[in-house]
Every structure is written in structure tokens, then in C-alpha cells.
A and B are shown apart, each in its own frame.
Chain A
Amino acid sequence: ETGVTQTPRHLVMGMTNKKSLKCEQHLGHNAMYWYKQSAKKPLELMFVYNFKEQTENNSVPSRFSPECPNSSHLFLHLHTLQPEDSALYLCASSQDNWSLSYEQYFGPGTRLTVT
């Protein structure tokens, strides 16, 4: 596979469940990102990892827990979510997070529904 892949593509979970979203990039990049995309709102940056180190946590509730075991993989662990957390979760990667010009490559997203 090429580019940025995300699994699962769709996820329905109850508020007491624990689940994880997975992102994998095959581009040799060193920075990875989680974004939340809700209807009629701008994309919200959640977390940034640069060379496996978390460099940004954009005031995200602790019920979202990221993990970056290596530069190619990024996880978002979910527990005790709320219905307002239902959204499209996008993963992205770039060469690194230091250069302004580097393009971010996005995955197809995971459509999360919290019931």
C-alpha cells in the first residue's frame, strides 16, 4: 500500500467502550498528526508527533490518548467517549514538523459514531 492508510474506516461504539484507531504511513515521513473533522467546523488539530515525540496536544480531553510507537504508525485510543465526539478522524503525515512548506498527506479518515 502507498500513502497514508487508516483503519477502521467506520466505527460505531458505545460510550463505555474502548477502541483504537490506527494510522500507517508508507512515505518515510517523520511527523504524524491527528485531526478531528466535524460538520460545519474547521478541521481541528488534536495531536502532533515529530520523530516519535509528541510536540502538540491541542487541549484534547484525556478520553483521547495518542500513541506513536514509530515514525510510521500512529494510534488514537478512545475510551468513555461522548456523543459529541462523533466525527471524521483524519490522520496525516509530513516530512517533518519544522518546515512550513512541507505538504501534509492525509489518510481517508475513520468515521466515528458514538451512541
Chain B
Amino acid sequence: AQTVTQSQPEMSVQEAETVTLSCTYDTSESDYYLFWYKQPPSRQMILVIRQEAYKQQNATENRFSVNFQKAAKSFSLKISDSQLGDAAMYFCAYRSGDSGYALNFGKGTSLLVTP
């Protein structure tokens, strides 16, 4: 079974600083996608960034970027210039064909942003 591990239940960052959230996953598949989702206190989960396993180049979306290490099965999220609105739960997720195309989520990391 595929598993996604987020080892940091809580993280804290000061406004304008950079923070990295870690995620590791376990799979025997060669083709899969990885995602980071954000769930603010209002509870609506939204996609932050996605990465295809076949692409070596790390995905970037504005202040959000990933460090994808395929051999190590690691997929960390870097948030630069942190803003108060970045405070949320962040979920790492994995999707492949042999999981029935279902999203497998980690337990999440709660990010606190301090002024």
C-alpha cells in the first residue's frame, strides 16, 4: 500500500521568512503525481502545487516551490516570503494508477505564521 508521511505535525515561521515542509512517500510505481494541498481554517482545501514523477525539474508556483527527490522518495514544499495568509494545514498527497487513481494523503502539517 502507498503511504505518505509528513513528519512535522506543526511548524512555525515568521512573516517574510522561508519555511520548508517535508513529505516522504512509499511506492513501487514509476509514474505518479505528487500534490501539496492547503486547508485554511475556513476548511476549503485548495491545490498549492503538483509534480509529475517523470519531470526532473522541480515545480514552482510563485512563492511556492518543491524539492522533488525521486530516488529518496521525498517531496518537500518550500514557502518563500511567508505571509499571514499562508497559515493553514498543508497536506502532501500522492496519486498513481495502482491506487485506483485515488489521492493518498499524509496526516498534514499545521503551519503557523507569526508577525
Chain A residues close to B by CB (< 8 Å): 40-43, 45, 48, 55-56, 58, 88, 90, 92, 97-101, 103-104, 106-109
Contact = CB atoms under 8 A, between A and B. Distances in A.
A40, A42, A58, A109 interface centre (most CB from chain B within 10 Å): A42
B97 A100 contact: yes
Chain B interface category by residue count: 20 to 34
A108 B42 contact: yes
Contacts of A107: 44
29 contacts: A40-B107, A42-B91, A42-B105, A42-B106, A42-B107, A42-B108, A43-B91, A43-B103, A43-B105, A45-B102, A48-B100, A48-B101, A48-B102, A56-B100, A56-B102, A58-B102, A88-B43, A100-B33, A100-B52, A100-B95, A100-B96, A100-B97, A101-B50, A101-B52, A106-B37, A106-B45, A106-B46, A108-B43, A108-B44
A48 B43 CA distance: 21
Contacts of B33: 100-101
